[in-house]
Amino acid sequence: MINFNQKINYQRYASKKREVLSDKYSIVRCFESDRGRIINSAAIRRLQQKTQVFPLERNSVVRTRLTHSMEVQQVGRYIVKEIVNRLGKTGQLKKYGLDNCVMAIESLVEMACLMHDIGNPPFGHFGEAAINQWFHLRLGLENDTIYPALKVHTNDDDEIKKLKTEIRQDLANFEGNAQAIRLVHSILRLNLTYSQIASILKYSKPAYWSDSIPPEFSYLMKKPGYYLSEEPFVKALSKQLDIKQFHRYPLTYIMEAADDISYCIADLEDAVEKKILTVKQLYTYLAEAWGPFKKGDLFDLVVNRPYENLKQNEFNAIGIDQFFMYLRVNAISKLVPHAAERFIENIEAIYHGSFNHALLEDHSTEYKLLNIFKAVGFEHVFNHESVENIELQGYRIISGLLDIYSPLLTMPTDDFLKLVDNEYHKHYPIETRLYHKLSSKHCAAYKQAISKLNSNEANFACMEFYYRCRLLQDYISGMTDHFAYDEYRKLMVTF
């Protein structure tokens, strides 16, 4: 049975009292509280200084992660409205338990879209790659590790061996989506509703996972979705929302589709703004990727007609702006109804979270259009020399910062805890100064995690080291592009 009302959970993990609300507006008020917590959070403000594709960009017209997320938010809201409209016309809103929770769902999707990138490190996917390679070289399971706390000894019992293996795997699999869950729950402690956090839980694989992935979850477990540190919370969330193992919350599919629709066109527009491509080149690449088209087909309606208008305007600046406006409007007007149609067609699997595909992924011309936007972006934008040079710089900056802060990881457990307690250790002057540079919010998250451990248990040293590594990952991944760049130059004494 499908009843979306049962998936709208306004309870909060850190709230001692479980509220019981009877009227519809009181429930809406809970999600309005989520909106306020999210919009006013530091994580959202930092998005304005993280770029979508072009790191260290000074041109304010080129999208930041914040402006991109606002665009995703609008598309997500539109998809919800399209779904509701279609189900309303066929009299099925009540059948699926949607008649009393439309406002809540709209708010949940909008805020999920706004938050979807908050866990991404500086320099985007190259920042992720830098963090992962740095930790993989030191903690990867195929090599021995230099860190005593995670060395596997013959006298370790099976439980400790398993834990050390999971920790090493977990730390070598940093992922922006998993970091977003950690950010809202463990670092900022926004105490959002279960439904709101579930809406950004994009993948169902724990970061420590090393077994083969079941075929029926190949897409849902494509990437790590959460860390070992947040596993107890994710289990509590899944129980509250009746999400089975490796399944997904239904509204996440909408957030993901909105992101797919938004970024593929935005990246191409930004590339033209930066003069990586001309509009003529862009049109040529899109037409070649699509193949032969005829009057009235999807490519003609979405791409060709705006381009013909641009040619009549002789490619002037206003005409180029108009071209991208209509390209975007036309694409959204076709892709959003298709996303809504796919949601309704697969509503049972989506409701239960077992739908093992992206919402837009099918054999339609709409999906073909989406793919040619992505393919042209990948081939002619992301692989452009200027973009790759900046990404390589970003890779070096993140790796260099981890090298600079790595002395904190070589300290023995007792000495590091003493440094944390006293904010000073006379035998570790360099480490003391490095610790002072860490963000107080990230240090507070570390202290809270350590306070829940039992120092007399056999797993204390490896769990302490785990949270110490998380402290460094939290700090560096939370930097903006320019802050990371400036910090690296400052500490490398580069002028």
Indicate which residue of 34, 37, 46, 117 is catalytic.
117
Residue ranges of the chain with pLDDT lower than 50? none
How far apart CA 479 and CA 486 sit, in angstroms, is 10
**482 catalytically annotated:** no
User: Would you tell me how many other CB atoms lie within 10 Å of the CB of residue 345?
Assistant: 11
CA 216 and chain centroid, separation: 23
pLDDT at 494: 64
**117 catalytically annotated:** yes
Six-digit token string for 73: 């938010």
By CB atoms closer than 10 A (0-12, 13-18, 19+), residue 306 is: buried
pLDDT at 459: 96
pLDDT at 25: 85
pLDDT at 495: 55
pLDDT at 21: 80
CA distances to 269, 323, 331 from 306, rounded to whole Å, are 14, 5, 11
pLDDT at 444: 98
CA distances to 87, 149, 445, 453, 454 from 163, rounded to whole Å, are 48, 11, 21, 14, 15
How far apart CA 474 and CA 438 sit, in angstroms, is 10
Indicate which residue of 46, 63, 116, 168 is catalytic.
116
**414 catalytically annotated:** no
**116 catalytically annotated:** yes
**170 catalytically annotated:** no
In the chain the first and final C-alpha atoms are separated, in Å, by 64
Six-digit token string for 202: 């994009």
Rounded to 10 degrees, what is the CA torsion of 289, 292, 295, 297? -50
Q: How do residues 8-52 score in pLDDT, each as one tens digit?
A: 999 999 887 777 787 878 888 999 999 999 999 999 999 999 877
How far apart CA 40 and CA 323 sit, in angstroms, is 34
Indicate which residue of 433, 436, 486, 489 is catalytic.
433
pLDDT at 53: 74
Of the candidates 63, 62, 25, 69, the one whose C-alpha atom is nearest the C-alpha of residue 43 is 69
Indicate which residue of 63, 168, 185, 259 is catalytic.
259
